[in-house]
Amino acid sequence: MNEQFLYYIWQYKQFNTRNLFTSTGEPVTIIQSGLRNTDAGPDFTMAKVKISKTLWIGNVEIHVNASDWKAHSHDKDKNYENIILHVVYNDDIKNTTSKHPCLELKNYMDVNLFTKYKSLIGAASVIPCSSQISSVDPFVINNWLDRILAERLEHKTDIIRQGLELNKNNWEETFYHALAKNFGAKINAEPFELLAKLLPLKVLAKHKNNLLQVEALLFGTAGLLDDKGEDAYFLSLKKEFSFLQKKYKLQPLEKHLWKFLRLRPANFPTIRLAQFAQLVHQSSHLFSKILEVKNKKEIYKLFDCTPSEYWKTHYVFGKTSKAKPKSAGEIFIDLIIINTVAPFMFYYGKQKGDDYTTEKSLKLLATIKPESNRIINEWELIGIKANSAAESQALIELKNNYCNHKRCLQCAIGHKLLRQKD
């Protein structure tokens, strides 16, 4: 037995609630289990319990054994003085006088329920319910994924909130930082984000009408113009940056921070920087424009950033390759929408009380193709297929924050499986 299971039992009243009695023989009626408290203090607040003829409203503390009260030093903690009921699995101190009524659940519980729970969290598979999930109504799964998607967006917006605090609530600057980070994908996210923080958006905005200068600012601050190049384009960038660096007192990154190994040439940081330069050149007040878009096609249009002519025949400086346009493809833009655009729209709507924008972020994810990665493949192997980015994001969140931590008791799917009759 463990406390997590007892929290679940109490919260959802998964025991015989008739003819309950305290350890001293007083009848107990549970009217409301209360609200689960995940912070310091009693386990449940605002519970409503009738003991004998008196109605009590207050806190409930739960333990496996009644003796855990002293073992956890609650007898010395003022936060536990106003407990209205001490709920335990086993009252191992029945003969000891206690100032708090004690309810022992051991004889009111279905032993099979705990056996099911142990079987579920003890499963060796990466998704604990993999062998049972096919028996769960798809309606239950889909409703749970809708809720989990909102949780994932809430987690992502924590980073946005922190960025806004650092940037004095400047949405455009904060969006620029996040966008740069996601242009670097996982492998170059850190240097891209550092670059954006070293090169303020207001500096780029002053030169946005001159693509060469925008490129010089980005490549130069990235530390990629320190080599001895010979072609005219490289030398012109270097010349421009030499002037702009002194003007704005820019400090370039170390070149070694950028990763090229094990990347497809189309994903080289040089190509992503060239695309980012084109995006800056062709747009202004980008976040404001994104708030106005109505569908993904309009976003694709905003992010259709084909680099300058030089990059048509290059992946890196000074090395010619077969001519090929290197615009940001739909798959890459979809990732930008998933990781940057949708979370920013979601958080902006929440902050401004703009339900339309919040809902638009969710609908946007529902119109994008699902991601293809290891986690999504694991779900597909057990029959759960994502049909959109909204569903793939929810499944990633479910796997990372529920399945990986065996949080089956907090999961609607796990809850359904525990309550199913054999």
User: pLDDT per residue over 305-363, tens digit each?
Assistant: 999 999 999 999 999 999 998 998 899 999 999 999 999 999 999 999 999 999 999 99
- Give domain status of residue 405, yes or no: no
- Give domain status of residue 143, yes or no: no
Question: Which residues fall within 8 angstroms of residue 228, CB to CB, at 6 or more apart?
Answer: none
Boundary (domain end) residue, out of 366, 386, 414: 366
Residues 208 and 275 reside in one and the same domain:
yes
Helices (H) and strands (E) in the chain, counts: 18, 9
For residues 33 and 39, the answer to whether their CB atoms sit within 8 Å is: no
- Give domain status of residue 389, yes or no: no
- Give domain status of residue 319, yes or no: yes
Q: What mean pLDDT, rounded, does the chain reach?
A: 93
Quote the CA–CA distance of 166 and 75 in Å, as a whole number: 43
- pTM above threshold 0.95: no
Residues 189 and 90 reside in one and the same domain:
no
Residues 13 and 101 reside in one and the same domain:
yes
Residues 251 and 342 reside in one and the same domain:
yes
| pLDDT (mean) for 99-123 | 88
| pLDDT (mean) for 26-34 | 95
Burial environment of residue 375 by CB neighbours within 10 A (0 to 12, 13 to 18, 19 or more): buried
- Give domain status of residue 125, yes or no: no
Quote the CA–CA distance of 269 and 271 in Å, as a whole number: 5
DSSP string covering 2-29, please? -HHHHHHHHHTT-S--SSEE-TTS-EEE
Q: What is the pLDDT of residues 147-197, one digit of tens each?
A: 999 999 999 999 999 999 999 999 999 999 999 999 999 999 999 999 999
In which domain, by residue range, is 204 found? 167-366
Residues 100 and 183 reside in one and the same domain:
no
Boundary (domain end) residue, out of 318, 337, 366: 366
Secondary-structure percent of the chain, ordered helix, strand, coil, rounded to 5: 55, 10, 35
Residues 203 and 102 reside in one and the same domain:
no
- Name the residue among 390, 401, 287, 399 with its Cα closest to residue 348: 287
Beta-strand pair 44-51/83-90: unpaired
Residues 196 and 336 reside in one and the same domain:
yes
Other residues' Cβ atoms within 10 Å of the Cβ of residue 414: 26
Residues 188 and 256 reside in one and the same domain:
yes
pLDDT at 258 over 80: yes
- Give domain status of residue 407, yes or no: no
- Give domain status of residue 393, yes or no: no
- Give domain status of residue 390, yes or no: no
Residues 219 and 74 reside in one and the same domain:
no
pLDDT at 95 over 70: no
Residues 227 and 333 reside in one and the same domain:
yes
Residues 226 and 104 reside in one and the same domain:
no
Q: Is 21 left (phi over 0), alpha (psi -120 to 50) or beta?
A: beta
pLDDT at 383 over 80: yes
Three-class secondary structure of residue 247 per DSSP: helix
Q: What is the pLDDT of residues 13-28, one digit of tens each?
A: 989 999 999 999 999 9
Looking at the 3D structure of the chain, how many domains does it have? 2
Residues 315 and 182 reside in one and the same domain:
yes
